[in-house]
Chains A and B, each alone.
Chain A
Amino acid sequence: MSEQGHAGGKKLYLSVWFWLLALTIFEVILAYQRLPLHPMLVILMALSMIKAALIISYFMHLRFERMSLFLTLFPALIFCIVMLMLFFPDAIRLYELRVP
């Protein structure tokens, strides 16, 4: 519990914070670029994923833990979320078969 407590200095955290804010601003600006919905969704999600990765690895210290902890936790979560995506063929079908 102690050794990894000092893994990063103040400066590192502040720069992560800066990047997170920068990405947020970038997202907001992007949202006003009149892109069609789907490319926009993809880009925004990719950016959010980067932000999430920054938070997880630095603020939540996962980068300074053993790799095995990451391997225990995240494959399962990602797998489940990917599985949840299997709902979407149906959302499209619902869109097509929908009656008022």
Chain B
Amino acid sequence: MPEVAHTHVEHAHPAPTGFIRKYIFSLDHKVIGTQYYLLALFSVFVGLILSVLMRMHLVWPNASIPGLGAIATSGAPGGVMTPDLYLSLMTMHGTIMVFFVLTTAPQGGFGNYVLPIQIGAADMAFPVLNMLSFWVTFLGLLALLAAFFVTPPLSGWTAYAPLSAIGAVAGPGQGGGQTLWIISIALFCAASLMGALNFIVTTLDLRTRGMKLMRMPLTCWAWFITAILALLGFSVLLGAGILLLLDRLAGTSFFVPAGLVVSDQLLTKYKGGSPLLWQHLFWFFGHPEVYIAILPGMGAVSQIISTFSRKPIFGYRAMVYALMSIGFLGFMVWGHHMFMSGMSPYSAMVFSVLTMAIGVPSAIKTFNWIGTLWGGNIRFTTAMLWACGFVSLFITGGLSGLFLAQPIIDVYLTDTYFVVAHFHMIMGVASIFAIFAATYFWFPKMFGRMLNEAWGKLHFWITFIGVYAIFIPMHFLGIVGNPRRYAQFTEFDFLKPFIPVHHFISVVAFITAGAQLIFLFNFFYSLKKGPKADINPWECTTLEWTVPSPPPHDNFEGRPPAVYHGPYEYGVPGAEKDYVMQTDSTPLPVATGH
């Protein structure tokens, strides 16, 4: 080990004492991480309930749901949902899930909690910024929920202009609610930028002695690269959001062309803008965003699979390079969402090649996960089950992306349920599976107690079978041409034969959604009553397993550890245990090639 001059930044703020400073406006990355996690947990259940309501409306458009009439008097008179309420539910479902669940839990939640510990730091680089970023996210969530109660917006999570830009003439939800939606997204952008900046600086500057870049756990790499994507992506979305807000409030017309006639009313206010411009700006952010949603999950899954296979990760360097190239290519493919938008057909060809190219690093990751399992001695804990489920779902969802990536096939499949199936498989459930895997894995560290494994497994089995049963049939619906974002399937002759399939999907969705209550119960029950967790229940090698569960205020109590090994030294021949901690200063018994 070369001795490096040690100029570690000492932990500036002492442990706070009052309740408010300790739990509400806390500067401790662990508390903020937990806050993020709980925010995501709340949001995911809101999103889940919305999806259940959506599935109800799709198959029983005229049924009256008891109690709903009282909550949404205009959207559901007498408890019967209107088509516009359906679209609002869908918009909210998509927005909440993408922004407030998949961008918060894996990065803001686990990243915040675990990253500083894994690299041996006492906290994030900018604790105050960290706190701000959480609270601004929280404000964003409030604004979004408020939108739902003002006039729920209905232009989808992609908010295509002019529908989203011209105000209430375009539909009942396009008034104040849509404005709040944009404000919410803008706040979210600001918060994510603060968070991303903090993550990058922390990873670069606060690694402890010996924590070389190529010794960082893959989780840290994933969070780091995600932060870079977020920094570059959200800044563009922020610009786009400002412009859309101006279109709505200041009378500019960046995204609205002249001469619109909406329900026989000529809009003279707008002149000369371009709807495609919004789509470009949105997807320039939007595609990196979907990788923001999944890269941290990939990191966590790599960590978990290696740990429970008791085997070093297969091809550590290849995994790092694959993460980098996914991130890099991720900025060059946004046009695949716009093949049929009126975009130049030449651009479509370029975007198509680049999109298929992303399959290559993704395949490397898949192979290496399987390669890690291969020859291992696999311990099927609940966390491991979720991680393996993730790999299976990622393959399924990723391959359907290859269909959509070819414009000639996308002509038919775009905006059908095939797309819905694709993104639920890979994002809706693969990423969520990674969150679950991470939850079962880090819960003991975060809360000092173990989650119940038996319930966890039951939850896993139902969810795994459930999501396949929900989303595989959606591919078939796409193939027969069922368009997405339809409130009912009663108006088209060709759709009527497929209503039974929708029935099947809905029923399975209700069961699967119900099964999530098992998780909720397990979570809160174990929080209070679970068995106490040891320092290192999974016999894992990374730094967070060298500190007590839960870790003390500044993690290492002022004595940052030194690191001597790569992160995944399992099953080392000749070592006394079957794993070697990163802090273990004895050299490995065999030459490892590192």
Contact assessment for A83 and B258 in the assembled complex, using a CB-CB cutoff below 8 Å: no
Interface membership of B228, Cβ < 8 A: yes
Interface membership of A35, Cβ < 8 A: no
Contact assessment for B258 and A100 in the assembled complex, using a CB-CB cutoff below 8 Å: yes
Shortest CB-to-CB span from B342 to chain A, Å, is 7
Contact assessment for A100 and B259 in the assembled complex, using a CB-CB cutoff below 8 Å: yes
Identify which of A72, A79, A94, A100 contacts B276 (C-beta below 8 A): A94
- Give B220-235 as 1s and 0s: 1 = Cβ < 8 Å from A's Cβ atoms: 0000000010001000
Contact assessment for A83 and B347 in the assembled complex, using a CB-CB cutoff below 8 Å: no
Q: Which residues of A contact B (CB under 8 A)?
A: 72, 76-77, 79-80, 83-84, 86-87, 89-94, 97, 100
Cα–Cα, bound, A100→B277 (Å): 17
Interface membership of B346, Cβ < 8 A: yes
Cα–Cα, bound, A32→B259 (Å): 36
Q: Pull 14 A–B residue pairs with CB atoms less than 8 Å apart, ordered by A.
A: A76-B232, A77-B232, A79-B331, A80-B232, A84-B236, A84-B284, A86-B335, A86-B350, A87-B280, A89-B344, A89-B346, A93-B342, A97-B342, A100-B258
Interface residues on B, range: 20 to 34
Cα–Cα, bound, A27→B274 (Å): 31
Cα–Cα, bound, A22→B258 (Å): 42
Cα–Cα, bound, A83→B179 (Å): 29
Cα–Cα, bound, A86→B333 (Å): 11
Q: Which residues of B contact A (CB under 8 A)?
A: 204, 228, 232, 236, 258-259, 274, 276-277, 280, 284, 331-332, 335, 342-344, 346-347, 350
Contact assessment for A83 and B277 in the assembled complex, using a CB-CB cutoff below 8 Å: no
- Residue numbers in B under 8 Å from A76 (CB-CB): 228, 232
Q: Given A94-B274, A94-B276, check contact A83 B284 (CB 8 Å).
A: yes
Cα–Cα, bound, A80→B287 (Å): 13
- Residue numbers in B under 8 Å from A92 (CB-CB): 344
Identify which of A79, A84, A90, A100 contacts B343 (C-beta below 8 A): A90
Contact assessment for A93 and B277 in the assembled complex, using a CB-CB cutoff below 8 Å: no
Q: Given A100-B258, A100-B259, check contact A90 B276 (CB 8 Å).
A: yes
- Residue numbers in B under 8 Å from A80 (CB-CB): 232, 236, 331
- Residue numbers in B under 8 Å from A83 (CB-CB): 284, 331-332
Cα–Cα, bound, A92→B276 (Å): 12
Cα–Cα, bound, A94→B284 (Å): 18
